[in-house]
């Protein structure tokens, strides 16, 4: 899944205390398309931006398991169930790759998870929408993972090495997710009238939230310029959004489903699809915690964390015991 380009509560770190020469040398390395690795010097603001973005991305993967898990016990066939389990495992894996990448910047896993549980960290607001029918699982794979891929492929060339490398792994796996989703939609769209109606209903509900996944419009995006200069970001939100729309509209036509936007029109001059106005009020409402499932998602994460506490404790106690026993045996043998 993915993180949206969002910096709602960022506090800019002042570069004033940093040696201007060092900052200039750092920027020169970035400009020369060099990669930055964990032990290299970097401006505090670069580090902070990456920690925020990578951890938001990781949280999105972890929370993203919930809307999918909702249908895991109710898939229409065993085949679909196996596919879903594989996909959900991938999301967990993606979350873990990303937490590891964030940790190379000097934050701990516990700290990041703590921020998520405390409601202080953001995750992609798309996961605050419910998956009401089986068709939603198809729509999530096709649209949400499709949007994620658009956003993630450029991050494979991000200036920060560990993030870029994690993204290469993720993109390889994400392609299966999107194809799986599209195929699920195709089965419904080509099925009975009721099944086709389910597919259309899912598209109607997921289209706009997916379009919003790319984050605020360029003219309202807080940190876009700096992120571009640092090559953390390679395209603007609006550029990526347009790529997604151009790729997805023909796919919807292939499915013979209609995109819920009466203003949608192919622009002969630009060769792009123009869309109607985006409801940014809804976007900010969901980002700020007032989406359909914000509370439910965090509560479920908190419950899972609490219920897993004894497992984590037991694993640690067992490891300690085995270490002690091993040490004891060694002493006895000597």
With 0-12 / 13-18 / 19 or more C-beta atoms within 10 angstroms meaning exposed / middle / buried, residue 194 is exposed
> Which of residues 312, 327, 328, 329 is near other proteins by CB under 8 A?
312
> Which of residues 29, 109, 179, 229 is near other proteins by CB under 8 A?
109
Query: How far, CA to CA in Å, does 109 sit from each of 51, 125, 135?
Result: 11, 22, 35
> Which of residues 44, 276, 318, 325 is near other proteins by CB under 8 A?
318
Binders of other proteins in range 169-228 (CB under 8 A): 169, 173
How many Å apart are CA 210 and CA 139, to the nearest integer? 10
Residue listed under structure tokens 């289209």: 207
Of 234 and 305, which CB lies nearer to other proteins in the complex structure?
305
Give least dist CB 274 to other proteins, A: 39
Asked if residue 41 binds other proteins (CB under 8 A), the reply is: yes
> Which of residues 319, 324, 327, 329 is near other proteins by CB under 8 A?
319
How many Å apart are CA 150 and CA 172, to the nearest integer? 13
Element (H, E) at 108: none
Spatial CA neighbour of 258 closest among 195, 211, 197, 181: 197
Asked if residue 12 binds other proteins (CB under 8 A), the reply is: no
Q: Give φ, ψ of 5 to 5 degrees.
A: -70, 95
Asked if residue 160 binds other proteins (CB under 8 A), the reply is: no
3-11, 61-69, 295-303, 316-324 -> range binding other proteins (CB under 8 A): 316-324
Asked if residue 330 binds other proteins (CB under 8 A), the reply is: no
Binders of other proteins in range 70-99 (CB under 8 A): 86, 89-90, 93, 96-97
Residues 178/151, Cβ–Cβ less than 8 Å: no
How many Å apart are CA 60 and CA 122, to the nearest integer? 8
Residues at the interface with other proteins (CB under 8 A): 39-41, 86, 89-90, 93, 96-97, 100-101, 103-104, 108-110, 165-166, 169, 173, 309, 312-313, 315-316, 318-319, 322-323
């Amino acid at each position: 899944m993915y993180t949206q380009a969002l910096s709602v509560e960022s506090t800019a770190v002042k570069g004033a205390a940093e040696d201007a020469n060092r900052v200039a040398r750092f920027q020169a390395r970035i400009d020369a398309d060099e990669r930055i690795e964990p032990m290299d010097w970097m401006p505090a603001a670069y580090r902070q931006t990456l920690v925020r973005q990578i951890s938001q991305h990781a949280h999105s993967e972890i929370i993203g398991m919930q809307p999918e898990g909702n249908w895991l016990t109710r898939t229409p066939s065993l085949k679909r169930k196996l596919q879903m389990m594989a996909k959900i495992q991938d999301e967990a894996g993606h979350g873990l790759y990303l937490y590891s990448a964030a940790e190379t910047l000097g934050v701990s896993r516990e700290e990041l998870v703590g921020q998520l549980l405390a409601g202080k960290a953001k995750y992609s607001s798309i996961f605050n929408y419910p998956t009401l029918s089986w068709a939603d699982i198809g729509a999530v794979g096709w649209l949400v993972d499709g949007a994620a891929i658009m956003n993630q492929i450029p991050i494979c060339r991000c200036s920060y090495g560990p993030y870029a490398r994690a993204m290469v792994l993720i993109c390889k796996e994400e392609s299966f997710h999107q194809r799986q989703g599209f195929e699920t939609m195709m089965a419904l769209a080509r099925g009975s009238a009721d099944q086709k109606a389910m597919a259309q209903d899912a598209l109607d509900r997921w289209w706009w939230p997916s379009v919003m996944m790319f984050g605020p419009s360029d003219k309202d995006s807080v940190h876009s310029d700096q992120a571009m200069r640092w090559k953390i970001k390679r395209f603007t939100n609006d550029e990526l959004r347009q790529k997604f729309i151009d790729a997805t509209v023909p796919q919807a036509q292939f499915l013979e489903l209609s995109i819920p936007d009466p203003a949608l029109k192919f622009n002969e001059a630009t060769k792009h699809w123009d869309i109607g106005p985006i409801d940014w009020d809804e976007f900010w409402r969901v980002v700020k915690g007032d989406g359909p499932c914000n509370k439910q998602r965090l509560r479920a994460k908190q419950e899972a964390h609490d219920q897993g506490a004894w497992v984590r404790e037991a694993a640690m106690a067992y490891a300690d015991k085995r270490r002690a026993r091993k040490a004891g045996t060694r002493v006895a043998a000597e």
